[in-house]
A and B are shown apart, each in its own frame.
Chain A
Amino acid sequence: MSGVEIRVGLSSCGVASGGEAVRDALVKAAGGRALVKAVGCNGMCHCEPIVQVLEAGRPVALYGKVTAESARAIVGRHTRWWERRRTDLPAVDSEPYLGKQKRIVLENCGEIDPGKIDEYLARGGYEALRKCAGMTPEAVVAVILESGLRGRGGAGFPTGRKWAAGRAQTAAVKYVICNGDEGDPGAFMDRLVLEADPHRVLEGLAIAAYAIGAATGILYIRAEYPLAVRNVREAIRQAEERGLFGSGLKLEVREGAGAFVCGEETALIHSLEGGRGMPRLRPPFPVERGLHGAPTLINNVETLACVPWIMRNGAAAFASLGTAGSKGTKVFALAGKIRRGGLIEVPMGITIREIVEEIGGGIQGGRKFKAVQMGGPSGGCIPEWLADTPVDYDEIPKTGAIMGSGGMVVLDERDCMVDMARFFLRFTQAESCGKCTFCRIGTKRMLEILERMCAGKGRRDDLATLEELVDFVSRGSLCGLGQTAPNPVATTLKYFRDEYEAHIHEKRCPAGRCTALVRYRVTDGCIGCTLCAQACPVGAIAYQPYKKHEIDDALCTRCDECRKVCQDDAVEVVSPC
């Protein structure tokens, strides 16, 4: 073995981009000359499948969008001296993306094979658990309290206080639950951590169990993440084989069944008890009376993933990162119209603009940055002019959005805010469990109004009704889902009122997104490259190279594909049509 190690990212994003074919090609090409290792995703999802090559004495070489062919070339370059000069490889400079990041939770993502416990152990894994075993549970809770760690699931409740409450319970049976029911559309950090570094979460959960004195730990994971479930099950098996949890702790995995509201603690407990996942009134908080009436500590995946690092490096190291109120780092899932999407981990206090423009590389196609949607259906849209807001549990809510679990969907000038609001309302409407009238019917009425606006049938009094409903629904609901459901509407109404008015009064969609209000046309900028004709799914554009293309309006479904593929911006959206 020449000491060359090739790592290929095989999380579900890597697999979806054809990572397995790349892995096979690498293994075949490498033969015995290099070690090929399947690791998790390193967060650079925009250039999956990713291949990293490590050689002694050389900087890590990173390649993105690798194909089976380029995989062979990569192996060649690093194992044969005469191919060293090759330049036809898809090398990626990771510095702009990774440079500003600080990795705690994602420390091992893309570095270790999640299926091999030894690799985790080699990087200091389970050291924190051993260290805790030598401390009293109270001391562990104190460290977490001191670190200032706050729940990464969305609300940002101080984790230490939750643990202290759990510790204070005197019941004989206690539970710890890892909440991996990551339902927020647009967030995928939990998936990635569970897939790429499952042991870190198990270690965090084991520490939590030790701290509050629980004997059972449950990992509740979305069924939409089959790889995460597989990896975690395997990780538990390996850790138990080594006896790392001692005899006092039993971990099990439960798959979700597809309900967003189960991300809410009390709903999650109902779901675990086998019933409908409906939230109940708090207090009593689950940490007092939870699963089967026993005190139950529920922490998010990311929160638990922070714990081992804190225990290993000390509360002060963690507290030195971030801002006064929000310590440490936060993982964000960058997606949407961003150039470099993926998973990033940044210290708290960094501004949204830094994230979007420096780490994310700005908007695709050089278009204008319009807003960023944070917090999923419970969050809101932060407009470009507020992008200097620091990422912080206290600052973000001032804009009307929430930190949420860390989904950041970047929107550009082609995204309609009314449509965004409608999208989220449709989501919360469908996911509402139906317990509270305001959430069940109020969201329905709001959705109807938004649907009407998007169809060009908005009425003059619609905005007033909407504002009224925003208020009623948020006050009249029991759980976070209902209370925050109107947020997307409230923030877009606050910052992009002109767009709502254009929809209602002019029957016009300024972003050109609402299909009922737009028509597509080819401008004289067309160079006849046929890209649009190739992309049109309904054949509304005739294939005529070197001639100006025409769109058949009767066939056109306004799918926007032609405009997306056009390199010369020669397809325009006319609104009102």
Chain B
Amino acid sequence: MKGRAAGVVVLVCVAALTADYAVKIAWTAASDVRVAALQEKVRADAGLAAALAAEQKKIADFNQARRTRINWLSLVLIVAAAAFLVEQPKAPRRIPEKPQKAAGVRRGGKPVVTGAAAPEIDLAFVDEVVAREGRGTEAAIPILQAIQAHYRYLPDEALRRVCELTEITPAQIAGTSSFYSRFRRSPVGEHIVRVCHGTACHVAGARQITDELRRELKIAEGEDTDPSRTFTIEEVACLGCCSLAPVVMVDEHTAGNLTPATACDALGEHA
């Protein structure tokens, strides 16, 4: 209530000052004309000098009075403005927005066609690899690694081709490819997300990171790839960045010191 009254006073003062200013302009203009006329006359008739002096005194008095007037008006204005500010209800503490996660994860998106959906597999690469790595049984792992690096998983056709070309038997291929955790027999998403589950990462909460990623990417129970086939999640033993635990490696890029809140940032621009 007081605040509003003060506000009104402020407005009145501002109005008065504006009005005063308008009056001053008009009055000054008028008096200028009069003084000019008088000065003209004085030049002709020196006897009118007293009238000019009186006129000038009038102007001076007017200005002096105006000065006093606006002094008081502005004082009132300051007081009223201060009262207005003081009477303002204290600004409520700004309740900030909850910070947004830096990277929203793309959901849905265009399905990425990989491996299984692409029946045509160019086996020329297999021939090339075999030519490079040799035909002995000891070349099995390098061959499989090269095939996986190329096709991103081990397609059955390629494995069969390897058996045809080398001394490696289907049994050895089956045994080897199922033994090592890096070999995959089924197609993967566009990007592989390796969540480190080493000791340090475990105590730092790797389980929560995995859960959060699965939740954000909407990966179903028992699955490891999200519906849009963009990301495949793998739990790996240790990525060797223990002092940055918990750590996630997306393709070849590692991100450390994650929390569930920042886990999805690690997916970076792919998300």
Residues of A with Cβ closer than 8 Å to B? 12-13, 15-17, 45-46, 48, 182-188, 191-192, 222-226, 254-260, 271-277, 292, 333-337, 341-343, 373, 376, 407, 409, 411, 415, 420, 423-424, 427, 431, 433, 530, 533-538, 543, 545-546, 557, 559-561, 564-565
B141:A257 contact, CB within 8 angstroms:
yes
Partner of B202, one of A17, A45, A423, A565: A423
Q: CB-CB < 8 A to B257: which residues of A?
A: 17
* Assembled-state Cα–Cα distance A214/B176 (Å): 28
Apart from the given pairs A185-B238, A271-B141, A427-B237, 14 other A-B contacts in the complex at a CB distance below 8 Å = A12-B254, A13-B244, A222-B240, A226-B252, A257-B141, A274-B138, A275-B140, A276-B176, A333-B242, A337-B203, A373-B199, A559-B211, A559-B260, A560-B208
Residue B93 lies at the interface, judged by CB distance under 8 Å to chain A? yes
Residue B172 lies at the interface, judged by CB distance under 8 Å to chain A? yes
Q: How far is the CB of B269 from chain A (nearest CB, A)?
A: 14
Q: Which of B167-182 contact A (CB under 8 A)?
A: 168, 172, 175-176, 179-182
Q: CB-CB < 8 A to B181: which residues of A?
A: 257-259
Q: Which of B219-271 contact A (CB under 8 A)?
A: 236-245, 247, 249, 252-257, 259-261, 263
* Assembled-state Cα–Cα distance A254/B95 (Å): 58
Q: CB-CB < 8 A to A259: which residues of B?
A: 179-181
Residue B151 lies at the interface, judged by CB distance under 8 Å to chain A? no
Taking each of B95, B139, B199, which has the highest tally of chain A beta carbons within 10 Å of its own beta carbon?
B199
Residue B99 lies at the interface, judged by CB distance under 8 Å to chain A? yes
Q: CB-CB < 8 A to A415: which residues of B?
A: 203
Residues of B within 8 Å of A, CB-based: how many? Answer: 59
Known contacts: A16-B256, A274-B140. The answer to whether A545 contacts B199 by CB under 8 A is no
* Assembled-state Cα–Cα distance A135/B139 (Å): 36
Q: How far is the CB of A322 from chain B (nearest CB, A)?
A: 25
Q: How far is the CB of B195 from chain A (nearest CB, A)?
A: 12
Fill in one digit per residue for B78-99: 1 if any A CB lies within 8 Å of its CB, else 0.
0000000000000001011011
Fill in one digit per residue for B115-135: 1 if any A CB lies within 8 Å of its CB, else 0.
000000000000000000000
Residues of B with Cβ closer than 8 Å to A? 93, 95-96, 98-99, 136-142, 144-145, 168, 172, 175-176, 179-183, 194, 197-205, 208, 211-212, 215, 236-245, 247, 249, 252-257, 259-261, 263
A16:B244 contact, CB within 8 angstroms:
yes
Q: CB-CB < 8 A to A188: which residues of B?
A: 238, 240-242
Known contacts: A185-B198, A543-B98. The answer to whether A16 contacts B247 by CB under 8 A is yes
* Assembled-state Cα–Cα distance A223/B239 (Å): 10
B242:A274 contact, CB within 8 angstroms:
no
**A-B contacts, 17 listed (Cβ < 8 Å):** A16-B256, A185-B200, A185-B201, A185-B237, A185-B242, A186-B199, A222-B240, A257-B141, A258-B237, A274-B176, A336-B203, A336-B245, A341-B243, A342-B243, A407-B199, A409-B242, A534-B261
